Amino acid sequence: MTIFPRKKHLSIAFDPSKEEPVVKKSICTGEATVGFVDKNTGRYRDIRKVTSPVEIEAFCEEVGIDPKTIRTIY
């Protein structure tokens, strides 16, 4: 048992016909975030910062996609 338990992330609702889940990485720093790209406008909506592949897999599980199919943008 820990003093500060980790937050449990709930499933994230999104419209697959309008948005695509992606990993966005910075070219300079390598910082990565997960979020959604609007298919019509190309606008990125940030959800949270990730620091490991395990966190990316957890995000994929929350949105209901296969981690092998998530696209990385820069």
DSSP labels, 31-66: -EEEEEEETTT--EEEEEEE-SHHHHHHHHHHHT--
Give the start-to-end residue ranges of the domains of the chain: 19-73
pTM higher than the cut 0.85:
no
Instruction: Determine the average pLDDT of the residues in 31-45.
Output: 95
| Choice between 2 and 67, residue whose per-residue pLDDT is larger | 67
Residue 32: phi, psi to the nearest 5? -120, 140
pLDDT tens figures, 11-28? 777 888 999 999 999 999
Q: Does residue 73 register a pLDDT over 80?
A: yes
Q: Does residue 66 register a pLDDT over 90?
A: yes
